[in-house]
Amino acid sequence: MNTIAALVGRILLAVIFVVSGINKLFDLAGTETLITGAGLPSGLALPTALFELIGGLAIALGFMTRLFSILFAGFSLVTVLFFHRDFTDPMQATMALKNVAIAGGFLCLFAHSQMRWSYDSMRLRRRGEVATREAEERAREAELRAARAEGQVAGVTTAGTRPATTYVTTDVDGDGVPERRRRWWSLS
């Protein structure tokens, strides 16, 4: 249930910016007027619209979630500073609180971004699988090298040369597992 709630929450946060980005793209002149009216430089309408649209889609798909969630949290707070700073107007105060709440939602998303059903989660899981497979491969190669080394030592002992120390395996403590003990007497 938590996974479904997190997915729906992520999509709902994204919808706000996807719709806003599309609306800004269809009315670039009005967006430019609004931006310059707030005292910001002109030419920010198209980058803002594209940022909202592309970032919103990335959040919805769970692609680069941590990056876009922190960017959107900052964007929402900066929007309060430039567009909703008249707290005496009830409408502006409500819009400012809405943006603060959205920033809080994005900070929660930043903290819990590796949830299921996102591209980031699939990528992280895949990295783990690849790392596990590589570790197993290295272990197999080490076992093969050890077996080859034992085979070379066994080849020397079967050729008639005895190693300096010989070992005997006997079940000393009666648990059914033979223990390897060093033989102190010579076999020659």
Are 9 and 98 found together in one domain? yes
Tell me how many domains the chain contains.
Answer: 2
Residue 70, pLDDT above cutoff 80: yes
Are 66 and 150 found together in one domain? no
pLDDT at residue 127 in the model: 85
Domain hosting residue 109, numbered range: 2-117
pLDDT at residue 46 in the model: 94
Are 51 and 125 found together in one domain? no
Residue 188, pLDDT above cutoff 50: no
Beta strands 166-170 and 179-183, pairing class: antiparallel
Residue 156, pLDDT above cutoff 90: no
- Comparing 29-38, 87-96, 145-154, 169-178, the range with the smallest average pLDDT is 169-178
Are 131 and 157 found together in one domain? yes
pTM, full prediction: 0.63
pLDDT averaged over every residue in the chain: 83
